[in-house]
Amino acid sequence: MTTPFFSKKTPCSLVILMSGLMIFAAAILMVLGIGFAVKGASDKKQGATPEGTAVPETTTSAPNEETEMTNALSEETETTETEDGAEEIDTLCGQITEINDEYLILEGAQQGTVQVNISDDTLYNGSLQQGELAVGQYAEVIYDGKMTRSIPAQIAALAINVYPLTGTVDAVEEDGRVLVTPADGGEQVVLSLPDGVTMEAGETATFYTNGMATLSIPAQMNAIGVVK
């Protein structure tokens, strides 16, 4: 005869307690079973690769010399070019007060004293193609737009332009411009004088320009300096 788990002699409270424990244990086993089943399905889904789909290999290529050289050139270009890719240039005008083998000193009404550094790459235009720089000349200096904050300020000359025109003032217009007949017998020109400079008819002077003239008759030019 099989003995029942609970006999008639077992206290009622103990029966209830043991029954509760068995139900609680069964519930825990059920929860754990569901949890393991969900985790296994999730792991399988994440780690599985669809059939017939190749898994690409991830490779990291080491930089070669050509790539490094290209990057270096790009960095250098960014420091010497403007946003539109054109090289930045600027001009400065003034009278030469000092000259040596490495630089010249330029005195201007707006910028004051500036040291213009020259090199073997500096270009010379105008009368400088036949002669040399001289103290007292007025020059237009083309540079890369960079100027130091030292005293005096310094720039590096890309080109130096000196265009003298010696002649006699034939007439003075109401706006201050003068009609000049060149001493070499060339065509008359109309010159706009620098601020603060005035001329009278009959005066002879050397006018320094930037070398640019209009196609009108007579031609018109801007004087950057006048030496009477």
Cα–Cα distance for residue pair 181/170, rounded to 1 Å = 7
pLDDT in tens, 128-179: 887 889 999 999 999 999 999 999 999 999 999 999 999 999 999 999 999 9
Output the six-digit token pair for 138: 């007025």
Residue 65: count other Cβ atoms within 10 Å of its Cβ. 7
Residues sharing a CB contact under 8 Å with residue 88, sequence separation 6 or more, in sequence order: 80, 81, 82, 144, 145
The first and second tokens of residue 195, run together, are 């601020």
More confident residue, 83 or 219: 219
Q: Do 141 and 93 meet the contact criterion of CB atoms below 8 Å apart?
A: yes
CATH 2.40.50.140: which residues of the chain?
90-162, 164-227
In DSSP terms, which residues pair with 107 in a beta bridge? 95, 113
Containing H/E element for 94? strand 90-99
Report residue 110's pLDDT band, with 50, 70 and 90 as the boundaries.
confident
| Lookup: tokens for 93 | 């005008």
Query: Residue 136: its pLDDT value, please?
Result: 97
Which CATH code for domain 164-227?
A: 2.40.50.140
pLDDT, residue 6, reads 47
In 3D space, the residue among 111, 105, 118, 99 whose CA is nearest the CA of residue 147 turns out to be: 111
Q: Is pLDDT at 96 greater than 50 in this prediction?
A: yes
State the pLDDT confidence band at 88, using cuts at 50, 70 and 90.
Answer: confident
The burial class, CB within 10 Å (0-12 / 13-18 / 19+), for 140 is: buried
Q: Average pLDDT in the 195-213 region?
A: 96
* Superfamily of domain 90-162, CATH level 4: Nucleic acid-binding proteins (2.40.50.140)
What pLDDT band is residue 20 in, cutting at 50, 70 and 90? low
Confidence class for position 52, pLDDT limits 50, 70, 90? very low
Better-scored residue on pLDDT, 25 or 180:
180
Cα–chain center distance at 25: 75
Report the C-alpha gap between 50 and 70 in whole angstroms.
Answer: 41
107 Cβ contact list (under 8 Å, min separation 6)? 94, 95, 96, 97, 113
The mean pLDDT of the chain is 78
pLDDT, mean of residues 41-51: 49
How far is Cα 142 from Cα 162, in angstroms, rounded to an integer? Answer: 11
Predicted TM-score of the model (pTM): 0.62
